[in-house]
Structure 1
């Protein structure tokens, strides 16, 4: 069976997305000349021409930010366009967004993920294990976690963790090995410095950290939990996935706990 182009249109003029053609579209949409954009961004008009034609290497973060500021002043850029400009420029991620910034970026659709999984456990966390949002099942399973605000701080600093996590000692060592792997993969070692320093006040963390092991967390792992009041145990399959929204892509993790 032979596929034919719809309506006989020629696809030879189609372009893959590049920084240059996106910049040109955003500039054309705002009716601004290369000269005017260049003047307000503090670069030359010839440099803008080279960027749009793809004749130059990737622009620096400072140039992208200057271009973005001016284009946004003319007509507000969407979150998706901002991200696409940064992605196509090949810019590495900067500092981690704050917990408040991430919480503000959680959409109603993301919160719906938590609600639709009741009565199963569900939470949204950042890469440093700060709890951004969770459903009541998560809060019931890990009592006190919202007060602690961070799963790692809860595991090492809350006495309830030793009663809730049936295999607390082996689990907390596993978590530290996963943490080492995540730090390396994130490419932002400095962003974890404050968290490591804070957790360092707990002797069990210092001991596990000094052992130096490293592993990479699987997408699915097993948790054995105990109700600290009734003593009843349950086995949970925890699943982790990154939520790739336009704002702060990859910085929000969805963790779902399903009964084994």
Structure 2
């Protein structure tokens, strides 16, 4: 499994438009060999001026989606640097932050990082997603735990959407290498490989709807999930709070 890079996204967008390296280079004011080096990852990040020139010509031939536009800019080096470790992020969760999770009961609430590691949670989260806190990662649970297909009513469409969000997060992080181990793990699951091969990218909204099922009783419910990035503390932007409000 290959993490998204500026080069492989540029190549996909260029190929999708039937555009040669030479023509793209001419219209962006760079050499064809430079485009080759960019696509192979043999050069550092391009300048903002080059990125904007590339986007202008690609967009002229076939308008880029807002997600692809943002992803191309993110992967050009506008991210936030190396990812902190799980241990560092757990240490950054204060006692007061943990108390807040319990105040939201019976609604589910948790703190996760950009790689979907579950760092702190309340009992409602644990009850809703059985087995996820033992595993420690929402993505591994989604693809590797049979209970996930019973809990997530729309599992097929939900996991495809999550994979698109993951691509967006990798670009935003600015540290594609930091996701290599996770991608290798997830690559063991055929459904993940299938969704990843589609190549789509998206960015999670602040609020979205989850349709959940109790795996024991079969009772269904609708939850409005709200996500907020935590920009305070020692690792701003690397922690996310998720609150699920029962409808």
- 1:157-196 counterparts in 2 under 5 A? 157-196=144-183
Deviations 1:20-49 (A, max 9, x none): xxxxxxxxxxxxxxxxxxxxxxxxxxxxxx
Bigger-Rg structure (1/2):
1
Residue 235 of structure 1: aligned partner: 222
Q: TM-score, normalised by structure 1?
A: 0.64
Distance of 1:116 and 1:210 partners within structure 2: 41
Distance of 2:107 and 2:123 partners within structure 1: 9
Distance of 1:253 and 1:259 partners within structure 2: 19
Q: CA deviation at 1:93?
A: 4.0
Match among 81, 96, 101 for residue 114 of structure 1: 101
2:241 aligned counterpart, secondary structure: strand
Residue 220 of structure 1: aligned partner: 207
2:203 aligned counterpart, secondary structure: coil
Alignment pair present for 1:105 and 2:92: yes
- 1:53-64 counterparts in 2 under 5 A? none
Provide structure 1 residue ranges, at least 5 long, that are not aligned to the other structure.
1-90
Contact 2:80 2:173 survives alignment (8 Å): no
Q: CA deviation at 1:245?
A: 2.2
Q: CA deviation at 1:188?
A: 1.4
Residue 41 of structure 1: aligned partner: none
2:244 aligned counterpart, secondary structure: strand
Residue 96 of structure 1: aligned partner: 83
How many residue pairs match? The answer is: 170
Distance of 1:145 and 1:246 partners within structure 2: 26
Residue 48 of structure 2: aligned partner: none
Distance of 2:158 and 2:80 partners within structure 1: 30
Provide structure 2 residue ranges, at least 5 long, that are not aligned to the other structure.
1-77
Alignment pair present for 1:245 and 2:232: yes
Greater RCO (Cα-Cα under 8 Å, separation 6 or more): 2
Alignment pair present for 1:148 and 2:112: no
1:253 aligned counterpart, secondary structure: strand
Residue 242 of structure 2: aligned partner: 255
Residue 132 of structure 1: aligned partner: 119
Distance of 1:106 and 1:181 partners within structure 2: 24
Distance of 1:98 and 1:204 partners within structure 2: 27
Deviations 1:130-170 (A, max 9, x none): 00010000000000001110000000000000000000000
- 1:67-106 counterparts in 2 under 5 A? 93-106=80-93
Q: Which segments of structure 1 move beyond 3 Å, counting only runs of 4 or more?
A: 91-94
Residue 209 of structure 1: aligned partner: 196
Q: CA deviation at 1:246?
A: 2.3
